[in-house]
């Protein structure tokens, strides 16, 4: 599938660079906080960029196709960014994510955004696959991060984000079916993918901080 060929190298590259960079060699790294581990700080930084990426991509795709799902989910992504921002504020962490639309401080996120827009520009079907892929990656990352922290605040917010991503993924899959198109999971397992789709719409309660 074309989107995977565009998407995968940047995700892998970003994962490698994220695990190896330090505050000294990355001027955009968030400030340290004694209450959170380095890994937890990186989780928050990553998810802020990832939610911004989703928001910016969906807004752009909505301007192209005027398909309601992109507009509706972009509003949800704004809520997700606000949730991560609340964590930044509670722990007095500097949010260094760019505030400019379509601009990302981390070069791998910038390359990923550009690749997704290029793929989504090809057709509505490809745009819907871009949406499914973004949610696929979000769920993969959130599942991983939730398993690696015991911080109740982070778990609460990330479970809230995950619930939204479950609904978004279902929405994109439903739209693809209307286009007589299919999407196969590229990051979460087939079992996890089927579990999410079979569960139906989830009422997402708010997070607790």
Calpha distance 186→121 (Å, rounded)? 20
Calpha distance 77→71 (Å, rounded)? 10
Can you tell me which residue has the tokens 């401080």? Answer: 105
Q: What is the pLDDT of residue 28?
A: 40
In a domain, 193, yes or no: yes
Token readout for 106 is 């981390």
Q: What is the pLDDT of residue 8?
A: 47
Q: SS3 of 25, please?
A: coil
Residue 83 has pLDDT above 80, yes or no: yes
pLDDT band at 202; cut points 50, 70, 90: confident
In a domain, 207, yes or no: no
- Quote the number of domains for the chain: 1
In a domain, 29, yes or no: no
Mean pLDDT of the chain: 87
Buried b (16+ CB within 10 A) or exposed e, 101-115: eeebbbebbbbbbeb
Q: What is the pLDDT of residues 97-144, one digit of tens each?
A: 999 999 999 899 999 999 999 999 999 999 999 999 999 999 999 999
Residue 4 has pLDDT above 50, yes or no: no
Q: Which residues contact 155 (CB under 8 A, 6 or more apart)?
A: 146, 149
Look up the pTM and report it.
Answer: 0.85
Buried b (16+ CB within 10 A) or exposed e, 52-90: bbbbbbbbbbbeebeeebbeebbebbbebbebbbebbee
Range of the domain at 89: 2-19+38-199
Residue 13 has pLDDT above 70, yes or no: no
Q: What is the pLDDT of residue 172?
A: 98
In a domain, 24, yes or no: no
pLDDT band at 33; cut points 50, 70, 90: low
Least confident of 2-11, 89-98, 174-183: 2-11
Average pLDDT over residues 189-203: 94
Q: What is the pLDDT of residue 171?
A: 98
Residue 19 has pLDDT above 70, yes or no: no
In a domain, 163, yes or no: yes
Where helices occur in the chain by DSSP H, the ranges are 2-20, 38-65, 68-90, 107-120, 124-147, 152-178, 190-199
CATH number of the domain within which 177 lies: 1.20.1260.10
CA quadruple 135, 136, 137, 143: dihedral, nearest 10:
100
Q: What is the pLDDT of residues 52-76, one digit of tens each?
A: 999 999 999 999 999 999 999 999 9
Calpha distance 48→133 (Å, rounded)? 18
Answer for the pair 163, 111: CB distance below 8 angstroms, yes or no: no
pLDDT band at 23; cut points 50, 70, 90: very low
In a domain, 43, yes or no: yes
């Amino acid at each position: 599938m074309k989107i995977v060929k565009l998407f995968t190298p940047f995700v892998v590259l970003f994962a490698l660079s994220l695990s190896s960079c330090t505050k000294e060699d990355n001027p955009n790294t968030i400030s340290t906080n004694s209450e959170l581990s380095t890994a937890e700080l990186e989780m928050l930084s990553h998810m802020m960029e990832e939610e911004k990426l989703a928001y910016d991509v969906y807004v752009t795709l909505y301007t192209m196709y005027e398909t309601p799902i992109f507009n509706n989910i972009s509003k949800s992504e704004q809520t997700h960014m606000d949730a991560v921002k609340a964590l930044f504020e509670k722990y007095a962490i500097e949010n260094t994510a760019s505030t400019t639309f379509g601009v990302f401080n981390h070069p791998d996120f910038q390359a990923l955004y550009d690749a997704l827009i290029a793929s989504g520009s090809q057709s509505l079907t490809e745009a819907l696959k871009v949406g499914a892929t973004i949610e696929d990656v979000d769920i993969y990352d959130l599942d991983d991060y939730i398993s690696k922290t015991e911080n109740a605040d982070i778990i609460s917010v990330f479970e809230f984000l995950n619930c939204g991503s479950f609904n978004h993924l279902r929405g994109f899959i439903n739209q693809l079916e209307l286009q007589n198109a299919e999407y196969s999971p590229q990051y979460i397992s087939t079992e996890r993918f089927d579990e999410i789709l079979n569960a139906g719409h989830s009422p997402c309660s708010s997070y607790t901080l």
